[in-house]
Amino acid sequence: MTKDYYKILHISENSTQEEIKSAYRKLARKWHPDVAGNSEDVIVNFKDINEAYETLSNEIKKADYDKARRFYSYSGLGAGVNGINNGADKETNGCTNKETYQKEKRKEEKTTSKQTYHTKDSFKFSWEDFFFKTQRQEKDIAKKGKDIYSDIEISIFEALGGTTKVINMLQTNLCPKCHGRKFVNGSECSFCKGKGETSTYKRFNVRIPAGISDKSKIRLAGEGEKGINGGANGDLYLTVHIKEPKGYKTEGLNILKTVPVTPFEAVLGANIAIPTLTGNVSLKIAPNTRNGQKIRLSGCGIEQNNKVGDMIVTVEIQIPKNLSEEEINLYKRLAEISTSTVR
């Protein structure tokens, strides 16, 4: 293997992306031809530094490089990374003594161009062909953009009748200038400020079909992240969440509602207007209705797949606030003449 990118950037294999970036910037400033001159060594070093950063700053390229690097180091196909043989003390690279091995090693270190290694079966292995060919192919491969997942909230009335919702989505895509590499010609990309990606808001008109159920998914084809190298765009998936109206709850196709009534309505009976999904319905409160009693309004629930639920009303007896003096006196009189008890 002719180049060890970790050694070129003076970092360890466990370095974070921030450490890789910091090391690159420091070395790029030091070896930039405008600072260090235009000698051949400077140009070669500067080129190696940029090449190393371009590979190690890209997670996919870095993973491929590390995999091939490990394969090379442990396969016995040569002298290891940068001419270092991991098994030199035992095998001495096929030489019979240490002195001969060191001479052979010095010869090998003078080789600066692409190296080819030979096994007993005359099998030829070229590290640069293996890795850089993979890189070139990767640049040309068309890849589909990533899918985006988000949520959208609608009311139960919108779910039943259908609607169109307007949403604004923040979309992130690879920078069109540096194509995710973060740097252009050794300098930080001016378009994305070194982030490798750009973010913009996009407005969508989302059609909600009538009768949609909670946690259904709506797919907007091609509205995900942009494809790479001409690949298809990803898709946008929206998970629908149906919000229960204030004062209402849902249980399957049934709608649950609590209705407050006064003590005299519960005792004497009454007719109360109840709002439903299809309009107001008269609810009959029978005389002597108890607190917590449930009344079913058939067919006043959610309609879906040719099925209709009910509305189940729970009666809650409440004492009116701010009673008048006359009302208080009537309660006192009732207390005097009442013979009934609840205890």
Mean pLDDT within 107-128: 46
pLDDT in tens, 184-209: 877 888 888 888 888 888 889 999 98
pLDDT at 343 over 90: no
Most confident of 164-168, 250-254, 314-318: 314-318
Q: What is the pLDDT of residue 106?
A: 54
The pLDDT confidence band at residue 112, using thresholds 50, 70 and 90, is: very low
Same fold, 5-140 and 148-243: no
pTM: 0.42
Please state, rounded to an integer, the average pLDDT across all residues of the chain. Answer: 78
Tokens of 59: 């997670």
Q: Where are the alpha helices (DSSP H) in 171-274?
A: 263-268
Going from N- to C-terminal start, the domains of the chain cover 5-140, 148-243, 248-337
Q: Count CB-CB contacts under 10 A for residue 293.
A: 16
Mean pLDDT within 310-320: 92
Question: Which of 3.30.1510.10, 2.60.260.20, 3.30.43.10, 1.10.287.4070 is the CATH number of 148-243?
Answer: 2.60.260.20
**Residue ranges of E strands in the chain:** 116-118, 124-126, 148-155, 163-174, 183-184, 187-188, 197-208, 217-220, 236-243, 248-251, 254-261, 270-276, 279-285, 294-297, 303-304, 307-308, 311-317
Rg (CA), the chain: 38
Tokens of 34: 């405008």
Q: Which CATH superfamily is domain 248-337 in?
A: Urease metallochaperone UreE, N-terminal domain (2.60.260.20)
Mean pLDDT within 113-134: 47
pLDDT at 81 over 50: no
Give yes or no for a contact between 61 and 17, defined as CB atoms under 8 angstroms apart: no
pLDDT at 34 over 60: yes
Cα angle, residue 261 at apex, residues 259 and 267 outer, rounded to 5°: 135
The pLDDT confidence band at residue 318, using thresholds 50, 70 and 90, is: very high
Most confident of 53-57, 121-125, 217-221: 217-221
Q: Which CATH superfamily is domain 5-140 in?
A: DnaJ domain (1.10.287.110)
Q: What is the pLDDT of residue 137?
A: 53
